[in-house]
Structure 1
Amino acid sequence: MTITTGVDTRGADKLPTKKLGNLGEDIAADILARSGYEILERNFRTRHGEIDIVARDGDTLVFVEVKTRRSLVMGSAVGAVDARKVRKLRTMIGAYFLERSPRHSQVRLDAFGVFVMPGGFVEVTHLKAVGA
């Protein structure tokens, strides 16, 4: 399936690492918003780390981890969301609930893998309910 985003990816394969990560998060947020999700927060910081995106999908509160890669040397982007990372994210989600006290009937943890290829072409993988 081909998805068009409103995010400019020209030259993305040459961006410094931090900017590349920000671009990946912009792409994920854009795709989520175009798919009907409401983006509630981005880059929610806890003492344990940062939740990239917090969104609402109907009655479900969705926490999204975004991994962006320009090479497969370190493995696939979504492959970086392993059991250890899921445990850490669950701790951060707990911190989010303590601080924000959201009222949602369901909670889900998703992962986005953004692979930036030469020329700025992008391949995106969205995995729902990782670590469930």
Structure 2
Amino acid sequence: MDVDRTDRAAVGRYGEDLAAQMLVAAGWVVVDRNWRGTRGEIDIVALEGRELVVVEVKTRTGLGYGHPAEAVTPVKLARLRRLAGEWLAGRVVETLAERPLSVRIDVVAVLLVRDEPARLEHLVGVV
């Protein structure tokens, strides 16, 4: 891992890059990254076929504060639902050739433990 583990922003960016690479390798199309709405940010907006997926990426360098996915609270999920609607209202016509058939929220948990390969866990449809 070529990232300063003490720099939280760098660790987060690295985890988001790994998550985006994983999704693209699985055949997804990433249509937006780090999109800022009026009340927060969406890490990744992607298409899996005709399904629009808002992806929250949580990266940790250890389990001292719990599993990365545990940081995605009900309050965070509610915010992501609102942000997904805001993104759709403002961007879908410009960005997508066809309207998505459905929308869901996924979480990618990234664990970066020293001297081990990164571990990514993809949680599908968390709400």
TM-score by length of structure 2 reads 0.90
2:106 equivalent to 1:110:
yes
In the TM superposition, what is the alpha-carbon distance from 1:65 to its structure 2 partner?
Answer: 0.2
Match of 2:29 in 1: 38
Q: Distance in 2 between matches of 1:46 and 1:27?
A: 23
Q: Displaced runs of 4+ in structure 1, greater than 3 A?
A: none
Equivalent in 79, 87, 101 of residue 92 of structure 2: 101
**Count of residue pairs the alignment pairs up:** 122
**Of 56, 64, 89, the match for 2:55:** 64
Q: Percent identity?
A: 37
In structure 2, distance between residues paired with 1:56 and 1:19: 26
Q: For the aligned residues, what is the CA RMSD?
A: 1.4
Secondary structure, counterpart of 1:101 in structure 2: helix
Correspondence for 1:6: none
Runs of at least 5 residues in structure 1 that lack an aligned partner in the other structure: 1-8
Cα distance, 1:125–1:13 mapped onto 2, change above 3 Å? farther
Give the equivalent residue in structure 2 for 1:27: 18
Q: 1:14: how far off?
A: 2.6
SS in 1 for 2:80: helix
Distance 1:16 1:120, change over 3 A: farther
The structural deviation recorded for 1:15 is: 4.7
Any idea what SS the aligned residue of 1:75 has?
Answer: coil
Hey, what's the Cα distance between the residues in 1 that align with 2:18 and 2:69? 15
Letter in 2 for 1:58: G
